[in-house]
Amino acid sequence: MSENSQTFIAKSAIKTADLEHRRKINFNIGKYNAKVPEGKEQFADVHLVRERAKNIKWRAIETLDQQLEEFEMQFSKRGGKVIWAEDAAQAIAEVVKICKEKNCTSLVKSKSMVTEEIHLNKALEENGIDSVETDLGEYIQQLDGEAPYHIVTPAMHKSKEDVAKLFNEKLGTPINFTPQQLTLKAREILREKYVQAQVGVTGANFIISDIGGIAVTENEGNARLSCAFPKTHIVIVGIEKMIPSVTDLGLFWPLLSTFGTGQKVTVYNTIVTGPKQANENDGPEEMYVILLDNGRTNILKNPKQRESLYCIRCGACLNACPIYKNIGGHAYGATYSGPIGSVITPHLQGMESYKHLSYASSLCGNCTEVCAVKINLHELLLENRKESVEEGLVTFSEKMAWKIWKIASMRRGMMNLGNGNLKNKVVNGLFKGWAEHRSELNFSKKTFNEMWKERYKK
């Protein structure tokens, strides 16, 4: 069992027994569940919309090389610079290089899971650059020294009392501050930061190939401020975020907001196509887009797993997952949690270290049912399990157990040996680890043959 797997089991066991944690996330997911049906009402046929979105993403991913080149050509025409990063180290090196060229000591950052994936804040800190999260949820998490808990709502596991306590400890605000007062305090601090920052970093919800732009969706306006105030804007984005045309946003913007938060459309939707032009007053003087691979082409070359690249990170599968709702986002020990995280993390960070996440599923299929772009998530989890076996990532005892099971189950005579009690004793003795986290295997008292004979005697 890998170290990550042991940590996962230990953390999950703690969180599952933590009823207060469960109460908080069920409360927040309950609010989400109440809102989503309202958002879906805007679509005449929500299944057709999901199907169309899947088809568009299919086209984008099948022609990804051409789409990326088209994006680079269009974006460069308006003075933007494209940087291709194969892995996290290259992306970080490029950001640090740009920051040093600009004598940057202060940087503002909007919510971006990809910057979590490459651990950008840590790298910036090591280089003496103060990086401040400007999304309120991310700001709360940064103050608390915690990673985001959820890909859409980073502080979902915190109640308003938890946030008031945190602000009291870190910022000295009164402990009885209301959510409005806490938000105003955060805003007061963050407004200063936008003015001071030399560089702004954002992610992108979509890369738009035909116009050479990026689209950012948010509810607080902080991403707009992060890209417009500082003189340099750096976008870091995974290559799979591609959509072929700006007209596709007519479908993807409402789809993302409905499946992400239940809103019909998110409050701020921005398209950025380059730095400030000669005839423009606002915007950064320089703009870079770092196109990050970091394992995504491993997924691209796998015909079965490829569809996981269609993900628009709406978070719906996390909110629907019975495992996520019990163990929470941090137990996964990965940037991307929930069903989609369990599918992609073994391919992004190594099958051996993360294959255990593919077993963190009841395979109920609820994730597939709610996915905005109809990714067959539960089948991909099974596929991961299969691939890990094909790669030989199973213990000797597990291999032997299945071998014996196969031999026995293919011979009726062996299956009929002994009664249910004897089988329970032998099998539960062999699979000792099984019952550590589950009930014991329980065989029927009578064999299939015995039951069959009894049935036809009547």
Asked if 23 and 328 touch (Cβ cutoff 8 Å), the reply is: no
Listed ranges 68-76, 305-313, 322-330, 439-447: which one lies at the site for ligand SF4 (CB under 6 A): 305-313
Cα Rg, the chain, nearest whole Å: 25
114, 318, 388, 418 from 151: Cα distances, Å: 10, 9, 26, 51
Exactly one of 60, 201, 321, 372 binds ligand SF4 (CB under 6 A); that residue is 372
Does 299 participate in binding ligand SF4 (rule CB under 6 A)?
no
Q: Is residue 435 exposed (0-12), middle (13-18) or buried (19+ Cβ within 10 Å)? A: exposed
Of the two residues 190 and 373, which places its CB atom closer to ligand SF4 in the complex?
A: 373
**Smallest distance from ligand SF4 to CB 160, Å:** 26
Q: Does 316 bind ligand SF4 (CB under 6 A)?
A: yes
Could you give the 3-state DSSP secondary structure of residue 166?
Answer: helix
Candidate list 230, 275, 315, 328; residue touching ligand SF4; CB under 6 A: 315
Among positions 46-75, residues that touch ligand SF4 (CB under 6 A) are none
Q: What is the DSSP code string of 225-278?
A: HHHHSSSEEEEEEEGGGEES-GGGHHHHHHHHHHHHHS-SS-SEEEEE-SS--T
343 or 427, CB closer to ligand SF4? 343
The least CB distance from residue 375 to ligand SF4, in Å, is 5
DSSP letters of 303-315? TTGGGGGG-----
DSSP-assigned letter for residue 432: G
> Of 30 and 128, which has the nearer Cβ to ligand SF4?
30
**Closer Cβ to ligand SF4, 216 or 377, answer by number:** 377
Q: What are phi and psi of 278, to 5 degrees?
A: -55, -35
136-143 helix and 160-171 helix, angle to the nearest 10 degrees? 60
If the CB atoms of residues 54 and 185 are measured against ligand SF4, the closer one turns out to be 54
Q: Is 371 in the site for ligand SF4 (CB under 6 A)?
A: yes
Give every CB contact of residue 228 below 8 A, 6+ residues apart in sequence.
Answer: 200, 282, 283, 284
Which residue among 207, 249, 292, 312 contacts ligand SF4 (CB under 6 A)?
A: 312
Of 276, 313, 347, 356, the one binding ligand SF4 (CB under 6 A) is 313
40: its two tokens: 């879906």
- Closer to ligand SF4 by CB, 177 or 206: give it: 206
Compute the least distance from the CB of residue 268 to ligand SF4, in Å: 20
Is residue 186 part of the contact set for ligand SF4 (CB under 6 A)? no
Residues 336-355 contacting ligand SF4, CB under 6 A: 340
* Sites for ligand SF4 among residues 373-402 (CB under 6 A): 373, 375, 377
- What is the side-by-side order of every strand in the sheet holding 206-208? 242-243, 206-208, 213-218, 268-272
**Taking CB under 6 A as the rule, which mask of x and - marks residues 255-294 in contact with ligand SF4?**
----x-----------------------------------
Q: Which stretch binds ligand SF4 (CB under 6 A): 159-167, 192-200, 232-240, 369-377?
A: 369-377
> Closer to ligand SF4 at the Cβ: 35 or 231?
35
CA distances to 403, 404, 427 from 448, in Å? 21, 19, 18
29 forms part of the interface with ligand SF4 (CB under 6 A): no
Would you call 360 exposed, middle or buried from its count of C-beta atoms within 10 A (0-12, 13-18, 19+)? buried
For ligand SF4, the closer CB: 374 or 385: 374
In sequence order, what DSSP letters do the residues of 330-398 get, joined into one string?
GGG-SSS-HHHHHHHHHHHH-HHHHGGGGGS-----HHHHH-TT---HHHHHHHHHHHHHHTT-S-HHH
Residue 185's H or E segment, with its range, is helix 179-196
Contact region with ligand SF4 (CB under 6 A), list: 171-179, 217-225, 314-322, 422-430: 314-322
Q: What are the φ and ψ backbone dihedral angles of 263, each rounded to 5 degrees?
A: -75, 155
Assess 140 for contact with ligand SF4 (CB under 6 A): no
Q: Which of 235, 317, 321, 323 binds ligand SF4 (CB under 6 A)?
A: 317
Q: Tell me which residues touch ligand SF4 (CB under 6 A).
A: 259, 311-317, 340, 370-373, 375, 377
